Amino acid sequence: MLNLFYSRLSLTRRSSIIPEKIITIQSEEDLKNITEGIGRYEYSRGVEGKVIVDLTSLRGIEEKDDKLRILAGTLWKEVIGFKPELFGNLNFSVGGSVEYGDAGFGFNEFRFIKDRVEVEAYLNGEKYTGRYKGGIIYAVLVKKENKELIVKSLTSQEFDVIYYKLKSWFSSSIPPFRDITLVWRDGKFELSATYPKLREELLKKFITDLSDGKIIYEDLSFPHKYRYFGTTTIDNLYKIKDQITNSIEAYLRISFNKVYFSIYSNTSLIFPPNVELSNFSDTSGENNLNGCIMCGKCVDVCPYVEYTKSKIYSPLGFYVLQSLGSSVQINCHMCGKCVDVCPANLDIISDISKSAVYDLSNVRTENKLKELKSEKVILITPISSRFEERILKSLLYLYSKGLKVGLKYIDLDIQRLVKNQIDWKLLSNQFSGINLIITITPEEYYYLQPLKRYSVLDIDYIENYVMSDVEIDKSKLHISCYFRDLEKKIKPSKCSFAFLDLLNNKNMPSKINAEITLCPFTSEKLNIKTPLDIVIPQINLNIVDLIASKIRKSLENSAQLLDDAKWYYGIADDIYHEVTDSLFLYALKEIPLEEALILYFYIDRIDEFSSEEKKILEEKIVQLLTK
The residue among 539, 556, 580 that closes a domain is 539
Which residues of 350-457 form beta strands (DSSP E)?
376-380, 406-409, 436-439
Q: Is residue 503 part of a domain?
A: yes
Give 40's strand partners. 54
DSSP conformational letter for 261: E
500 and 474 in one domain?
A: yes
556 and 508 in one domain?
A: no
453 and 320 in one domain?
A: no
For 420, counting Cβ atoms within 10 Å of its Cβ (0-12 exposed, 13-18 middle, 19+ buried), the class is: middle
Cα(522)–Cα(528) distance, rounded to whole angstroms? 8
Return phi, psi of residue 346, to 5°: -75, 150
269 and 163 in one domain?
A: yes
How confident is the model at residue 542, as a pLDDT? 76
With contact defined as beta carbons under 8 Å apart, do 590 and 554 qualify?
yes
Domain residues for the domain of 319 are 297-353
The residue among 121, 143, 165 that closes a domain is 143
What is the total count of domains within the chain?
A: 5
396 and 301 in one domain?
A: no
How confident is the model at residue 457, as a pLDDT? 95
187 and 73 in one domain?
A: no
Q: Looking at this protein, which amino acid is placed at residue 172?
A: S
397 and 529 in one domain?
A: yes
Q: Looking at this protein, which amino acid is placed at residue 608?
A: E
How confident is the model at residue 568, as a pLDDT? 46
518 and 381 in one domain?
A: yes
547 and 470 in one domain?
A: no
Which residues of 27-186 form beta strands (DSSP E)?
38-40, 51-54, 61-64, 67-71, 118-123, 126-130, 136-143, 149-156, 179-185
Q: Is residue 286 part of a domain?
A: no
Q: Looking at this protein, which amino acid is placed at residue 242?
A: D
What stretch of H or E contains 298?
A: helix 297-301
Q: Is residue 288 part of a domain?
A: no
Q: Looking at this protein, which amino acid is placed at residue 531?
A: P
189 and 105 in one domain?
A: no
Q: Is residue 289 part of a domain?
A: no
Q: Is residue 401 part of a domain?
A: yes
153 and 137 in one domain?
A: no
Give 184's strand partners. 189, 250
What are the C-alpha distances in Å from 472 to residues 466, 476, 533? 11, 8, 13
Q: Across the 627 residues of the chain, what is the mean pLDDT of every consecutive 10-residue run?
A: 94 95 94 91 96 97 95 98 97 97 95 96 93 97 95 96 91 89 96 95 91 95 97 92 97 93 96 91 92 97 96 97 93 96 96 95 82 94 94 93 93 95 96 96 97 95 94 89 81 89 94 92 95 90 78 67 53 56 71 80 79 80 77
157 and 139 in one domain?
A: no
Q: What single string gives the DSSP state of each residue in 53-68?
A: EE-TT---EEEETTEE
Q: Is residue 175 part of a domain?
A: yes
How confident is the model at residue 551, as a pLDDT? 74
What is the CATH classification number for the domain harbouring 95? 3.30.465.10
How confident is the model at residue 363, as a pLDDT? 86
The residue among 89, 108, 143 that closes a domain is 143
Cα(292)–Cα(528) distance, rounded to whole angstroms? 39
What stretch of H or E contains 253?
A: strand 249-255
Q: Is residue 287 part of a domain?
A: no
Q: Is residue 291 part of a domain?
A: no
| Burial 432-458, CB ≥16 within 10 A → b, else e | eebebbbbbbbbbbbbbeebeeebebe
From 306, 311, 314, select the one nearest 509 (Cα to Cα): 306
